Amino acid sequence: MPRTTSLSRRRLLAAGTGLAAGLATGCGAGAGGAPDLDAAAEVPTGDVTLDWWSFRMATADGGDVRETLVRAFSRRHPNIRVNLVEAPANTDITRTTLSTAVASGAPSPDLYMGDVAWPAQFAYNALALPLGSLLPGAFWEGFPDALVRALSFEDEPYAFPFYIDQSYLYYRADLLDKHGLAVPRTWEEVARAATAVRRAGDADMGLVLQGAVYEGLTANVAELVADAGGTVLDPTGGRVTLGGAAGERAFGFLQDALADGVVPAAVATFKEQDSTDAFTGGRAVFLRNWAYVWGVVEGAGSPVAGRVGVMPRPGFDGGGPGGHGCLGGWCNFVNPHAAQPGAAVAFARFCAGEEAQMIIVRDTAYLPALSAARASDEARGSRTPTLALAGEVRLVARPTQSPRYPQVSKALYTRANTVLSGGASAADALAGARADMAAALRGESL
């Protein structure tokens, strides 16, 4: 009986593209040396403990699906103990914390949940194990192309799919009914309905979204620009395309919404949780947020449960079909210096597989990454509308393919926030965003 089970017969190039690139530029190659891909390809048979940096994922009954996944995994691998390391839920904070820890060569966490916006930066700086040689090509065919592209850098995947986020518009169905208002089909109708309900004194906020100075605002802006028929960068990710009529409409919408009181001034500080709290607290009529938020607004203990509707995001009046939603989500990266790389790969692969993905479908409002799970009868017939409607959303990818994406995104969200905080006009913020994104792409610091 061999001590290990082989996951893959192929062996890797010593270090992988990302490490080579990181070393070549002297950026963050990490202190732990080249990753041990042979070890990563073997599932340990002795007793080991694996540290999984992850955040709580609510189940419909108020539990945490990570515990269910860990129990299911341990039935198959009783010798591998998975220890949950609690991560902050804010993408920018967790990115900074992890990149510092992993670059220093720390062996823990072995595996970490990371944003689908990170792979280019993490690959380039050798902060994630390259996965191309560990998994057969057919493995990746099981997932949406847009997701696999997001998880790859220079054609090599760097993270295991886990769950997908895509955005929706949540609304207070009871308040629309009370005021004889139809479910809005355009942003202009959203603004009118929000104003009518506010004026009647039934809510103090109209539309809430994520407008703080952080990655979430980039996601909001990218989809508003798509609603207006534009893009942020060209398909290569090397040139700024934001501007013109589409840019003006997207930024102009934020400016007008603030001026008209459709979005509250506080939105300039709102992240996912703040906007969700305003909505579940009964203070807002509309909420733009990710799919999993259905499980919160309609979950046990939500004061607005039973009174909420959800739909794909609308478009602009006369601006083509709506239904855009930013592609977000979280995946599992293996620390290239992991103490237990083989166990980490086995668990991450399990979480991407059918058994785990169907647990996500049955127990949560998170959207599975595995296409077969998304298309399963259980998913399509689900009473969770965000899951049943998943195929209707037109996914908008953020331009994450450049290792400089964090700076590009910072340029965009910082300028967009000046509109929401009333500090700049839409036109000035747009011009500033274009200039700052171009500078970020040239490698200049902002």
265-276 core/surface letters (b: 16 or more CB in 10 A; e: else): ebbbebbbebbb
Which single residue brings its beta carbon nearest to ligand GLC?
Answer: 328
Minimum CB separation of residue 91 from ligand GLC in Å reads: 5
Which tokens belong to 109?
Answer: 């966490």
Which tokens belong to 106?
Answer: 């720390």
Nearer to ligand GLC by Cβ, of 150 and 344: the residue is 150
Minimum CB separation of residue 151 from ligand GLC in Å reads: 12
| Residue 219 in contact with ligand GLC, rule: CB under 6 A | yes
Name the nearest CA neighbour of 348 among 178, 179, 128, 167: 128
Residue that the structure tokens 């689908």 belong to = 116
Among 153, 279, 290, 413, binds ligand GLC (CB under 6 A): 290
Q: For residues 80 and 146, give the distance between their C-alpha atoms in angstroms, rounded to a whole number.
A: 32
Minimum CB separation of residue 325 from ligand GLC in Å reads: 11
| Residue 113 in contact with ligand GLC, rule: CB under 6 A | no
By the 8 A CB rule, do 423 and 142 touch?
A: no
Q: Please give the radius of gyration of the chain, using alpha carbons only, rounded to the nearest integer.
A: 22
Among 19, 116, 129, 191, binds ligand GLC (CB under 6 A): 116
Nearer to ligand GLC by Cβ, of 42 and 272: the residue is 272
Q: Which residues contact 207 (CB under 8 A, 6 or more apart)?
A: 190, 191, 194, 257, 262, 263, 284, 285, 286, 287, 288
| Residue 216 in contact with ligand GLC, rule: CB under 6 A | yes
Taking contact as CB under 6 A, which single stretch among the options 96-104, 323-331, 364-372, 389-397 is the one that binds ligand GLC? 323-331
| Residue 224 in contact with ligand GLC, rule: CB under 6 A | no
Which tokens belong to 302?
Answer: 């939500």
Minimum CB separation of residue 13 from ligand GLC in Å reads: 29
| Residue 262 in contact with ligand GLC, rule: CB under 6 A | no
Q: For residues 330 and 119, give the distance between their C-alpha atoms in angstroms, rounded to a whole number.
A: 11
Which tokens belong to 442?
Answer: 């040239």
| Residue 329 in contact with ligand GLC, rule: CB under 6 A | yes
Nearer to ligand GLC by Cβ, of 117 and 334: the residue is 117
Interacting residues toward ligand GLC by CB under 6 A: 91, 115-117, 165, 215-216, 219, 272, 290, 328-330
